[in-house]
Amino acid sequence: MTSSNLWLGIGLLGQMLFSARFLIQWITSERQGRSVIPLAFWWLSLAGGVTLLSYALARHDPVFIMGQASGLIVYLRNLRLIRAEGTAKAPA
């Protein structure tokens, strides 16, 4: 396998992870009968974003790099807020 094919596979994997988050969000919302963003959505966002950022860095694509890097900040912040909320709700 060439390096080019390896990076193509990594890029496709990242896109699949990133796309899966919408499927998870849709299924969860349908089950609950309301719009919900489950924790898995943020973890898939992070995993897909890191993978796609790696691909963008390998391709030397500054537009793609900026887009994925800025998204990672949002995903990490949301995971941190969710964690803090869970800690605050935990009994003392």
CA triplet 10, 12, 15: central angle to 5 degrees? 110
Question: Does position 91 have pLDDT exceeding 90, yes or no?
Answer: no
- pLDDT for position 70: 95
11, 52 in Cβ contact below 8 A?
A: yes
pLDDT per residue as tens digits for the range 63-81 = 999 999 999 999 999 999 9
Mean pLDDT (the chain, rounded) = 93
Question: Does position 11 have pLDDT exceeding 70, yes or no?
Answer: yes
User: Rounded to an integer, what distance in angstroms lies between the CA atom of residue 91 and that of residue 47?
Assistant: 31
- pLDDT for position 92: 60
